[in-house]
A and B are shown apart, each in its own frame.
Chain A
Amino acid sequence: MTTIRIDGREWPTRPGINLLQACLEAGANLPYFCWHPELGSVGACRQCAVRQFSGPDDRTGRLVMACMTPVSDGAIIAIEDAQARAFREGVIEWMMVNHPHDCPVCEEGGECHLQDMTVMTGHNQRRYRFTKRTHRNQDLGPFVKHEMNRCIACYRCVRFYRDYAGGDDLAAFASHDSVYFGRAEDGALQNAFSGNLVEICPTGVFTDKPFSGVYTRKWDLRGAPSVCVHCAVGCNIIVNAREESVRRIVNRYNAAVNRYMLCDRGRFGHGFVNADSRIRMPMRSIDGHPAPVPTRDAVMQFARMAADGPVVGIASPRASMETCFSLRALVGEARFSTGQTQVEQACGQLACTLLRQHPGVIPSLHEMESADGVLVLGEDVCATAPRLGLSLRQSVRQPSFPMADAAKVPRWMDAAVRTIGCDAPSGLFILTPAPTDLDPVAAQCFRAVPDDIARIGFAIAHRIDPSAPTVTDLTDEQVRLVEHAAATLLAAKKPLVVSGMQYGSPALMRAAAAIASALARTIPASGLSLVLPECNSMGLALLGGLTLEAVMAQARAGKIATLVIAENDLTRRLSPAAVVELLEAVPNIVIIDHTDTPPCRDATLVLPAAAFSECSGTLVSQEGRAQRFFQAVYPPQPIRAGWRWMQALARAQGCVNVQAAARIQATGLTTWQGLDDVIAALGRACPILAGMVDAAPGADYRIDGQKLRSQTYRASGRTVIRSHISVRDQPPPGSPDTPFSSSMEGAYTPDMPPSLVPGYQVPSWNSVQSLNRFQHEIGGDMRGGISGVRLFPAPDATDHPTHPCATDIPAAFARAEDSVLVLPDTRLFGSEELSMLSPPVAARATPPTLRVPTGAAGPAHMTLHLPDGAHTLPVEPLAGLPDGVVLCPSHMVSPAFMFPCMARITPAGEAT
């Protein structure tokens, strides 16, 4: 075992890390700035100085930067050495030379690493008496505020933005003490991960701009552990709230998933919960006009409707497991629809099946980072699963690590490893119809239509395992690509194949699975990852149910009296004509949602559901990880969790319909007391989902008999904030579904379960850097264990299916004379439903265009003739797009258009 001596005390540690990590893991208060667990060491700030002695007899030793010094067994260091302390205090003093004394008005205040480190080093007297240098700030767009005077030049921002996230529009300018970090000119930061600057920057240079408008000090914010709802990756977040509003989203560390970073859609997409589009009251259609009604009336109205005849439920991949399952309990399994179209549901279920059958590994995002050969097959992950794209970007660095090892350079020595690996080959192959943000780091990119990509995929599978079916008629270029990709994957220790549902192509996913399982024959760590579209798509795939087409058929046959639609905007899935037909065929429409969607206009009853921030529940991510989100905000009464509405409806229905009452009683729906009961019932009803119960501890979880606090001990203003209404102390609100007290009373420790961590703070560390204290090993698992639970069992290596998936190899794409293949142009900002209701995200969404191959450039506007009508759009040529293909940002143009189709395209204005 490796041990080091810190200030005279022996500490066990681990080889391969640096002294700064070792000290932090030993619980020492050693200040630092430029080092970051995910960014490694560069030795720029010089803040982490300690004295190191060469042996027990060395009395003098020398100052070293802990972050730049590898741990060696028996190393002797002193943190509490007078000279080392003086140096560290000096470093802070130098940083403060130009740092403004604006803490009272700085939004970093109270969670500022610079504040913490200043206090930690003991610097408290200003001795520099000359003028400070000042900088001009820039407008960096709707997400991030810029206040350059606060900069201490730790270089973290550019290292994260450029080296880690691949952005190129943020840079360091000028030199000496006028170094400036910003853009070449004012304008929105272009990288999809710009929001992380807010957490990466150890001071207040980059702050959360939307938060600024509803600013609250960290100590006055309530925090709730939660899960992002803006794609299927399932990044862990903390929702910060005060009173009845969500103020911001920050990252919640999950070692396996998002780790330290979120994408901007996740961080800034929460605006929909406070938006005007919220439904806040039960509404009933009276004479064709929606009018607010008391909850009781609304519920009784439903009871009367239910007496009219069969009730069918439509769930949604953006609703929680609990909401979907309780809807199923309300209407019965035979009348339960997942709320997905045939294509969507088939793809989702195929993804689920392929993953569960995969003999290799279903890697977490963190595991993807160490993949050393990656094939992306027909999915623009940067748009559909942005955080996953960031992990793939890290995987590209793998080949440089053995080179660093050979040069005896530790892998965390960031700048040095990048120097050594500057010409290391990439192991990333990207086969997509259109360019992606990852292209610049790929070994090879190939542009083709989904069917042709699938063909290449099957060919790669065959090349790896000759017993897989062959693909004929490949072009020479395709053959070379097959060779190159197959060779790279076969040479990898941890190959990975990524595909997904973006193009609604089962063949693509089958091809991906065929390659991954072919690889798994010789490389057990061979990974398969399939990207799903929404936050609970995988949950629904596991739950199952009718497709929307099946519901349509029942409706047409007049078999539906009442339709209960939970959190599903049908106009995003069904053509306008189909929606009209459905709404006309069904006499009673009940919509339960937090957000006003077009069908609400025609609904008989609209019930206000809680948004993810206002209730608790479970989502299953695309890798089959069940994760719990907890209530952060306590909305005014009529608003409640979807499942509680189902319960209310069931109770009312039971009052008037004895038959239904009996059926519903059997499901337990009316008797559930809290969320834990729903989950337990779900587990009983669907064994495959039984593991969900372990996603987080239940509401009765206590530490030392106490609930968990969701505010810091310093929280102030509980009474003051309402003093314009009443000066009396208000009892803090509470939820029966969580183990939290929504106040500063309660337990909180760094080793609490990570699924319950409401925020990070430990003595002396008030910023997000305090996270170090919550981890066993820095960058490793949390002290309290892991958050969430994988529902898919580990594969049985002995059970090797023989290419069950390598069927239906599509024919090569032949371009049609009179029409083009329209593919969805999925966008980071613009395609996802809820985030577009968030003003800063909407502001970053650019207007829709029609992207056409460069050769096809013609008129400035063209008209696309889709099944739902003609859409005229400005034309944007896109280099690399295959012939005969156009890209259209589906939901921005034609809401229900999701998957490829052939369509006619004409110059704008021409008669059709």
Chain B
Amino acid sequence: MSHAERPLTAMIDPVTGPPDCAAYERAGGWQATRTALRTLAPAEVVDIVTRSRLRGRGGAGFGTGQKWSFVPREPASERCKYLIANADEMEPGTFKDRWLMEGNPLQLVEGMLLAAYAIQAGHGIIFLRGEYHLARTRLHDAIAQARHGGWLGQDILGSGFSFDIHVHVSAGRYICGEETALLTALEGRRATPRSKPPFPQTGGLWGAPSVVNNVETLSNLPHIIANGPEWFAGLGIGPDGGTKIYGVSGRVRRPGAWELPIGTPLREIIEEHAGGMQPGYGLRALLPGGASTAFVDDTALDMAMDYASVEKAGSRLGTGMAIILDDRTCPVGMLRNLEHFFAQESCGWCTPCRDGLPWVERLLDAIEAGTGMAEDIDQLDRHARMLGTPGHTFCAHAPGAMAPLASGLKLFARDFADHIAGRGCPLRHAA
């Protein structure tokens, strides 16, 4: 399969802006909707998506079709169900969903319509982070056009299936991206995560069956339905299906995001697409899939960026958006910055996360500022272990926060020791 195959982003043109409904249709849009609503039963859509080997692009990588299969089967007309697009994208280093929403919002709308049809949900909600002003305007616009075109609303295409989308603009809180906290937020409560069961698929928003999918996940659906699951599965290089939006930020020549076959080697992404490191900078390490994934160093460059391979290398594919630590940036400072984020974004519900992360942040502060002590490393280690294990904290926020720390403590042991011995940052970050 050639690298030119970019179903997700083919229609995105930064100069002309997002396609309007007609342009979208001319480019092949709504084809999948016609197929699904006219010829496929909801269960068949679920089956196709399962066979496409699409896995969630929100970070956890759960099989999308499988996730849907837990939703009770009643038709949308008989039971209130929700399909929610997770557009909270607040993972530092991640900017793929914004690209998709600003570039081709109708694709998301159609993806949601297909997902909703599959699970027979009558209500769609886009949970959009509050800072995405342009995305909001474009989504509103796209939804209006889709309504006008009869793609949203009552009895779509005469199929008897009705569905509409409402945009919920959030007000800034990383934890709202966690799917159960997202539901709590939509219910007008403090967005603390919920325990499972009940799983959202059976008892989600306002207690009704609900599916939360990432924007990228949903945006794939029109292409899967239009071109078939085998085509989609074949797009991936390794075991996973489809393309993936990969991105790179940091001191590379061409920071950015690209749609590539899932499983593209990391080296290719960094060296070919991002153009390699900026002159004068070397690659020290990187977070392969956003702030909550573990550091890998250049020995991992040849790994394929698919779920299993990245895990084998000790990290996670996460959002697939890599952050590069160059050799002139202080790793301790970078960790300090990351942990500040995680400490601040803790929802405050469970003790280890609420009170452990600020401690970690202060230890890193102290080490960076030159007041670190040898035993601080033990403390950091202890926190990495105690907060890092899923199940120790209420949700995956703290384990995510500990992924870069635990790996960083190993990879950058020398730097930590130097900071403590030398009473401060030897690099004096160029800032």
Contact = CB atoms under 8 A, between A and B. Distances in A.
Is there any pair of Cβ atoms, one from A and one from B, under 8 angstroms apart in the complex? yes
Interface of B: 173, 187, 190, 194-198, 202-203, 206-207, 343-352, 354-359, 362, 366, 375, 379, 382, 386, 389, 391-394
A525 interface: no
Interface stretch (A89-97, A211-219, A556-564): A89-97
B146 to A, nearest CB: 30
A551 B394 CA distance: 68
A179 B349 CA distance: 9
29 contacts: A43-B195, A44-B349, A44-B351, A46-B393, A47-B351, A49-B392, A62-B391, A64-B391, A86-B386, A87-B386, A90-B352, A91-B351, A94-B351, A94-B354, A94-B355, A94-B359, A97-B355, A153-B348, A155-B349, A174-B348, A176-B346, A177-B348, A179-B354, A413-B195, A415-B194, A416-B203, A419-B198, A420-B198, A421-B207
B389 A63 contact: yes
B207 A420 contact: yes
B343 to A, nearest CB: 6
Nearest to B363: A130
A136 to B, nearest CB: 18
Contact of B198 (A95, A176, A409): A409
Contact of A68 (B195, B356, B366): B195
Given A176-B347, A176-B348, 14 more contacts: A42-B195, A43-B394, A45-B351, A47-B351, A63-B392, A94-B352, A98-B355, A152-B351, A174-B348, A176-B344, A176-B354, A179-B348, A416-B195, A423-B206
B354 A419 contact: no
A68 B197 CA distance: 11
A658 interface: no
A44 B382 contact: no
Nearest to A64: B391
Nearest to A404: B198
A903 B382 CA distance: 75
Contacts of A97: 355, 358-359
A416 B348 contact: no
Interface string A31-49: 0000000000011111101
B198 A172 contact: no
Nearest to B342: A176
Contacts of A98: 355
A422 B356 CA distance: 33
B392 A46 contact: yes
A91 B379 CA distance: 14
A906 B343 CA distance: 64
A415 B352 CA distance: 20
A407 interface: yes
Interface string A401-416: 0000001110001011
A337 to B, nearest CB: 57
Interface residues of A, number: 44
A659 interface: no
A730 interface: no
A175 interface: yes
Interface in A1-54: 42-47, 49
Contact of A177 (B207, B346, B375, B389): B346
B198 A130 contact: no
Nearest to B199: A407
B195 A407 contact: no
A413 B195 CA distance: 9
A728 interface: no
A177 B194 contact: no
B355 A127 contact: no
Nearest to A421: B207
Given A408-B197, A416-B194, A153 B207 contact: no
A175 B351 contact: no
A421 B198 CA distance: 11
Interface in A140-189: 152-153, 155, 172, 174-179
A537 B33 CA distance: 73
Contacts of B173: 175
Which 4 A-B residue pairs are closest in the complex by CB-CB distance?
A: A94-B355, A179-B348, A176-B346, A130-B362
Given A91-B351, A176-B344, A44 B207 contact: no
Contacts of A63: 389, 391-392
A177 B350 contact: no
A175 B348 contact: yes
A183 to B, nearest CB: 16
A421 B203 CA distance: 10
B329 to A, nearest CB: 25
Given A87-B392, A409-B197, A46 B351 contact: yes
A128 interface: yes
Interface in A350-399: none
A31 B389 CA distance: 21
Nearest to A154: B351
Contacts of B344: 176
Contacts of A179: 348, 354
Contacts of A413: 195
Nearest to A413: B195
B350 A90 contact: no
B105 to A, nearest CB: 30
Nearest to B344: A176
A117 to B, nearest CB: 12
A176 to B, nearest CB: 4
Contacts of A175: 173, 190, 346-348
Contacts of B196: 416
Contacts of A415: 194-195
Q: In the complex, which of the residues B206, B345, B348, B375 has the most CB atoms of chain A within 10 Å of its own CB atom?
A: B348
B161 to A, nearest CB: 24
A281 B207 CA distance: 65
B355 A90 contact: no
A42 B207 CA distance: 17
B359 A128 contact: yes
A460 to B, nearest CB: 31
B375 to A, nearest CB: 8
Contacts of B347: 175-176
B190 A172 contact: yes
A172 B189 CA distance: 11
Max count, chain B CB within 10 A of own CB: residue among A87, A153, A177, A416: A177
Contacts of A155: 349
Contacts of A87: 386, 392
B194, B351, B366, B389 interface centre (most CB from chain A within 10 Å): B351
A177 B358 contact: yes
A420 B394 contact: no
B207 A419 contact: yes
A153 B379 contact: no
Contacts of B195: 42-43, 68, 413, 415-416
Interface in A230-258: none
B176 to A, nearest CB: 11
Nearest to A407: B198
A78 to B, nearest CB: 15
Contacts of B355: 94-95, 97-98, 177
Contacts of A45: 350-351
Contacts of A172: 190, 348
Interface string A73-95: 00000000000001100110011
B350 A43 contact: yes
Nearest to B390: A62
B398 to A, nearest CB: 10
B350 to A, nearest CB: 5
A428 B206 CA distance: 21
A902 to B, nearest CB: 47
Interface in A822-868: none
Contact of A46 (B190, B197, B358, B394): B394
A87 to B, nearest CB: 6
In this complex, the member of B207, B350, B354, B386 whose beta carbon has the largest number of chain A beta carbons within 10 angstroms is B354
A118 to B, nearest CB: 13
A87 B382 CA distance: 10
Nearest to B379: A127
Nearest to B358: A177
